[in-house]
Amino acid sequence: MQNRIADILASAGAGAEVVINGWVRTRRDGKGFSFFEVNDGSCLSGIQAVVPGTLGNYESQLAHVTTGSSVRVRGTLVDSPGQGQKYELQASEVFVYGMAPSDYPLQKKKHSLEYLREIAHLRPRTNTIGAVARLRNSLSYAVHSFFQERGFFYVHTPIITASDCEGAGEMFRVSTLDIDNPPRVEGGGIDYGKDFFGKPANLTVSGQLEGETYAMAMGRIYTFGPTFRAENSNTARHLAEFWMIEPEAAFFRLKDDMDLAEDFIRCLCKHALDNNKDDLEFFNRRVSPTVISNIESAASQSFERITYTEAIDKLLSSGNQFQYPVSWGVDIQSEHERYLTEVIFKKPVIVYDYPKEIKAFYMRLNDDGKTVGAMDILVPGIGELVGGSEREDRVDVLISRMRDFGLDESKYWWYLDLRKYGGAPHAGFGLGFERMMLFVTGLQNIRDVIPYPRYPGNAEF
């Protein structure tokens, strides 16, 4: 029987016979024995194996085991005399699967997160990235349980699409044309009729538009998948490939949408607190001393809700000097978002009813003719975590909004059909999974919370 260290620490007791498989973090030698600190990735803690010099392969092999080597240890759990661990493993047999030569890049010392990004294939063997990976797994599970328990169906929207959901044009082209010598139409433009799909196609920036079609048939749906944005923003909050959760619900208004999003974030936070205690304590100790209190506060307090107009007033009356000056109609910048959530309210804030000019074409125009039923959720340390809205369900208003944005409405014929045939109010939002991961880990850079980050100039691994 093989045991995972997480299971051993959770349920085995002193005297148990166990077999662990893992990687040696360090070897220390005593008189006639060695200590191997073994970690198997199942949890933050490793187990210290006490390896006696009397083992047959001790002199020839075990005394030379290096950091990074993979081993199997059989032995008996005994109460540990050492600090910081409950048990150690008195080894009766140690098998070495593979040694790690001295050029192993993860020698026992503190490595910077920047350095670890350069060895992204090995970094899950570190405490920090291992804890990130366990939290990602745990929150993914929580995403599905949250929606499944509330009657939302999981829908798989396409990755390759011919429509631009956000209308922002920041898309990656998908093509099989010969870039060096593409077919041309008369006049010199590229002949996309000869491309794989017979027209220009891209990687999706959001599953929302297709998600809406299923909500307008099944009531409540959600997507959870990768999305792609070719925005050239080299920031600690943006990735070119990120994961988004997008629920969409028929007959929901903006208020229902805000309630759902708030409940969702609260449940994710609660799930992490209930299931990832060791990893969260590690982040609190090693990364940011406020991470647990931020999660606890998001899990228990209700979020502040203010209109965009009120938010602008608050920022103006704060007297604070911002790099980007504030006035009604400007897009709220990251510095403003953080000021609202971190300084003014000190908790998550939902800002709603934004000027129509700064939001996407599909958001429902309010009766004032100036604002749309949009909402963003801002959280301490991050800024925008969620963007959502009630959707424009009046076909004439939607068409005129598309024209305002310079979009070709004929390309959105199927999206307009939803309004033409049995149209109804509906709403949804998108939560950036990596931004949520930043919130629960306290890490500063989004490149550290996804296994293989994609950003301008980087697609290694």
Per CB under 6 A, residues contacting ligand 4AD are: 165-166, 206, 208, 229, 238-239, 242, 244, 246, 384-389, 428-430, 432, 434-435
Q: 244 contacts which partner out of ligand 4AD, Mg ion, none, CB within 5 to 8 A by kind? A: ligand 4AD
- Closest CB to ligand 4AD among 169 and 198? 169
What's CA 142's distance to the chain center, in Å? 13
Of the CA atoms within 13 Å of residue 71, those in its CB half-sphere come to 32
Single-letter code of the amino acid located at 211: G
Q: How far is the CB of 374 from ligand 4AD (least distance, A)?
A: 9
Q: What is the CA radius of gyration of the chain?
A: 27
Q: Residues 46, 211, 387, 388: which binds Mg ion (CB under 5 A)?
A: 387
Specify the 3-state DSSP secondary structure of 202: strand
Q: How far is the CB of 401 from ligand 4AD (least distance, A)?
A: 15
- Closest CB to ligand 4AD among 47 and 377? 377
- Closest CB to Mg ion among 151 and 329? 329
- Closest CB to Mg ion among 71 and 437? 437
Report the residue closest to Mg ion, judged by CB. 387
- Closest CB to ligand 4AD among 88 and 246? 246
Torsion angle in degrees (nearest 10) through CA of 245, 423, 408, 406: -80
Q: How far is the CB of 50 from ligand 4AD (least distance, A)?
A: 46
- Closest CB to ligand 4AD among 37 and 246? 246
CA distance 122 to 119: 6
Q: 203 contacts which partner out of Mg ion, ligand 4AD, none, CB within 5 to 8 A by kind? A: none
- Closest CB to ligand 4AD among 192 and 222? 222
Q: 246 contacts which partner out of ligand 4AD, Mg ion, none, CB within 5 to 8 A by kind? A: ligand 4AD
- Closest CB to ligand 4AD among 68 and 428? 428
Q: Which contiguous run of DSSP H or E holds residue 30?
A: strand 17-30
Q: How far is the CB of 331 from Mg ion (least distance, A)?
A: 10
CA distance 425 to 92: 67
Segment near Mg ion (CB under 5 A), from 101-109, 126-134, 382-390, 402-410?
382-390
Residue 144 backbone dihedrals phi, psi, to 5 degrees: -65, -45
Q: 229 contacts which partner out of Mg ion, ligand 4AD, none, CB within 5 to 8 A by kind? A: ligand 4AD
Residue 426 backbone dihedrals phi, psi, to 5 degrees: -160, 160
- Closest CB to Mg ion among 68 and 387? 387
Specify the 3-state DSSP secondary structure of 57: coil
Give the other-Cβ count within 10 Å of 414's Cβ.
Answer: 11
Q: How far is CA 147 from CA 76, 263, 338, in A?
A: 43, 11, 29
Of the CA atoms within 13 Å of residue 297, those in its CB half-sphere come to 17
Burial of 105 (0-12, 13-18, 19+ CB in 10 A): middle
Q: How far is the CB of 7 from ligand 4AD (least distance, A)?
A: 35
Q: 430 contacts which partner out of Mg ion, ligand 4AD, none, CB within 5 to 8 A by kind? A: ligand 4AD
Q: 390 contacts which partner out of Mg ion, ligand 4AD, none, CB within 5 to 8 A by kind? A: none
Q: How far is the CB of 156 from ligand 4AD (least distance, A)?
A: 15
Per-state percent for the chain, helix, strand, coil, to nearest 5: 35, 25, 40
Q: 434 contacts which partner out of ligand 4AD, Mg ion, none, CB within 5 to 8 A by kind? A: ligand 4AD
CA distance 356 to 405: 11
Which letter, b or e, does each residue of 144-173 get, where b requires 16 or more Cβ atoms within 10 Å of its Cβ? eebbeeeebeebebeeebebbbbbeebbbe
Q: How far is the CB of 193 from ligand 4AD (least distance, A)?
A: 29
Q: How far is the CB of 168 from ligand 4AD (least distance, A)?
A: 8
Q: 412 contacts which partner out of Mg ion, ligand 4AD, none, CB within 5 to 8 A by kind? A: none
Q: How far is the CB of 376 from Mg ion (least distance, A)?
A: 6
Q: How far is the CB of 431 from ligand 4AD (least distance, A)?
A: 6
- Closest CB to Mg ion among 37 and 337? 337
Sequence-separated (6 or more) residues with CB below 8 Å from residue 262: 302, 303, 348, 350, 377
Nearest to 62 by CA among 53, 100, 2, 46: 53
What's CA 196's distance to the chain center, in Å? 32
Q: 428 contacts which partner out of Mg ion, ligand 4AD, none, CB within 5 to 8 A by kind? A: ligand 4AD
Question: By the criterion CB under 5 A, which residues form the site for Mg ion?
Answer: 387
